[in-house]
Amino acid sequence: MILRIAIFSAVWCGFAASTGFAVAEDASTPQRLYEQQCASCHGRGRLGGTGPALIPETLSRMHGPAIAKVVADGRVATQMPAFGASLTSAQIAGLAEYIKTPLAEVPAWTATDIAASRSMSARYVAATGPVFKADPLNLFVVVETGDHHVSVLDGDSYERLDRFATPFAVHGGPKFTPDGRYVFIMSRDGWVQKYDLWSLQEVGRVRAGLNARNIAISKDGRWLAVANYLPRTLTILSAEDLSVARIFDVADKSGVPSRVSAVYQAPTRDSFILALKDVSEIWEIATDPNAEPVFEGFVHSHEKGMEEALPSSRGLFARRRIKVSQPLDDFFFDPQYRHLVGAAREGGKAVVVNLIVGREIAELPLPGMPHLGSGISWMRDGRRVMATPHLKEGRLSIIGVDDWSIVSTVATDGPGFFLRSHESTPYVWADVFFGPNKDRMHIIDKQSLAIVKTLRPVPGSTAAHVEFDRHGRHALVSIWEDDGALIVYDARTLEEVRRIPMRKPSGKYNVWNKITFSEGTSH
């Protein structure tokens, strides 16, 4: 799954600390102010460092006034201090405009740059087995964005086994190797961190891009794909040592470049599937070294008037392009990965793409910005259905996967972001992430589609992102606040079992559910 929420949370950090006195306005240009106040964390070229890149390509949702406010007031729970007392309003406005100014050239981040950023931990020692007594396949990895840490929880006792620092602004779900031993965590500014869950130690990290969206791991666990906004690339790393295996410059067949909105593993196809933000194509990258040739065009044969198809690539990392009617940047896959449902953010509809034949086969009316990346599926009355929340409307759409029709609509108390379930529970858990009812969590019967209970774990505080333990006995809910908590519920009685204080636990991921592609977990 891809986390689009945090449009502002975790975008800023790491400005150099204020000098404590005002910089003379007539002696400092915006560029000079940037060098004095910002470059030590955000880089002299504005391409990021310990803090994110400060260029239009990475701040597309931040306009000048919003940037000025962050510079003046700082950001809570980050390293970003307030400059309102040490800079004048004119200086702050000048800095905001300078940050929004495009660079003379679109920045690159080459294989050489990636290799130079790679750092493997000298203190790491690989254990021969787990250094704890807990079930290693029932661990939870909990991302705490409040102070940029991850907690590792025993999924039976809910005791914390470790808590370690992550790169700034973790984004997208962590990914596990097929055996569940290693987890990879990615940040907005392109850092990829490898952590050994058996040893409870960091293995290393590398910067695979300047502004990244998410990661995916190959079926065999050998390759890690990183979807980048900046540069417009897909970076493939060796999962073993984080070295660069391949970099794809992403552009359509006519040469128009595109950001990569997301990359997914398609386990039954032994491939990566790419959602492209700016062009009307879907890419599939083979992770099978014996992949069949991919045909992308025709050339004239030696016989007059005849044409023959020639493969453009074959085997490992062979690329296939699928032409679609519009850019699609949010995907749901059926359990067999034969079809994907894709939507554009403002399109008011979704399309179904058959991945076998490589074309659109159906269209669905889905206004209100469906969040397909959080979609899940289950069997209802002998028929498989999928459900998706909507980011702008208080409803869930229930869709029949057999004929791609709208089966039903479930009205909710406001727009939601996440859905979760499990094979062992009769319920779907749906948050109400946006609006005045953000503290509510709906429990929905999978068969009747009725809301059987609405929880309010902490009145006034955002409740979001449910995950189950591997057995489906417990459901964990995040209280998405800096002074937040992880609340453990009995999945059968819906009663609270335990409350664990945490720093804005934005997401939690159960090893077993993720490596087995559990039916109730989005991927």
C-beta of residue 352 within 8 angstroms of C-beta of residue 360: yes
- What does the pLDDT average to over 200-228? 96
pTM, full prediction: 0.83
Which has the higher per-residue pLDDT, 295 or 387?
Answer: 387
Flag whether pLDDT at 78 surpasses 90. Answer: no
Which tokens belong to 46? 């504005």
Task: Kindly report the CATH number assigned to the domain that includes residue 32.
Answer: 1.10.760.10
C-beta of residue 297 within 8 angstroms of C-beta of residue 309: yes
267 dihedral zone (left: phi>0; alpha: psi -120 to 50; beta): alpha
Where does the pLDDT of residue 313 fall: very low under 50, low under 70, confident under 90, or very high at 90 and above?
low
Dihedral, CA atoms, 85, 91, 93, 98, nearest 10 degrees? -130
How far is the C-alpha of 224 from the C-alpha of 245, rounded, in Å? Answer: 9
| Buried-state track 391-425, b at ≥16 Cβ within 10 A, e below 16 | bebbbbbbbebeebeebeebebbbbbbbbbbbebb
Which has the higher per-residue pLDDT, 151 or 292?
Answer: 151
Any domain includes 341:
no
Any domain includes 142:
no
Any domain includes 36:
yes
- What does the pLDDT average to over 185-207? 96
- What does the pLDDT average to over 356-362? 95
Where does the pLDDT of residue 81 fall: very low under 50, low under 70, confident under 90, or very high at 90 and above?
confident
C-beta of residue 30 within 8 angstroms of C-beta of residue 94: yes
Question: Within 14-59, where are the H helices?
Answer: 30-37, 39-42
C-beta of residue 487 within 8 angstroms of C-beta of residue 338: no
Where does the pLDDT of residue 9 fall: very low under 50, low under 70, confident under 90, or very high at 90 and above?
very low
Task: Give residue 60's pLDDT.
Answer: 58
- What single-letter amino acid sits at 497? V
Any domain includes 131:
no
- What does the pLDDT average to over 152-161? 98
Task: Give residue 225's pLDDT.
Answer: 98
Q: Is 89 helix (H, G, I), strand (E, B) or coil?
A: helix
Any domain includes 197:
no
Task: Give residue 51's pLDDT.
Answer: 66
Q: Find the domain containing 72 and state its range.
A: 25-100
How far is the C-alpha of 33 from the C-alpha of 30, rounded, in Å? Answer: 5
Where does the pLDDT of residue 430 fall: very low under 50, low under 70, confident under 90, or very high at 90 and above?
very high
Q: Is 39 helix (H, G, I), strand (E, B) or coil?
A: helix
Percentages helix, strand, coil for the chain, rounded to the nearest 5?
10, 40, 50
Task: Give residue 446's pLDDT.
Answer: 98
Which has the higher per-residue pLDDT, 8 or 71?
Answer: 71
Any domain includes 320:
no
> Which of 238, 196, 244 minimizes the C-alpha distance to 217?
238
Any domain includes 59:
yes
Flag whether pLDDT at 159 surpasses 90. Answer: yes
Task: Give residue 28's pLDDT.
Answer: 72
- What does the pLDDT average to over 125-151? 96
Task: Give residue 121's pLDDT.
Answer: 96
Task: Give residue 49's pLDDT.
Answer: 60
Residue 207's contacts (CB-CB under 8 Å, 6 or more residues apart) are 109, 113, 114, 117, 189, 190, 191, 192
- What does the pLDDT average to over 91-101? 90
Which has the higher per-residue pLDDT, 468 or 52?
Answer: 468
Any domain includes 483:
no
DSSP letter for 129, please. Answer: S
Number of domains in the chain: 1
Task: Give residue 39's pLDDT.
Answer: 87
- What single-letter amino acid sits at 90? A
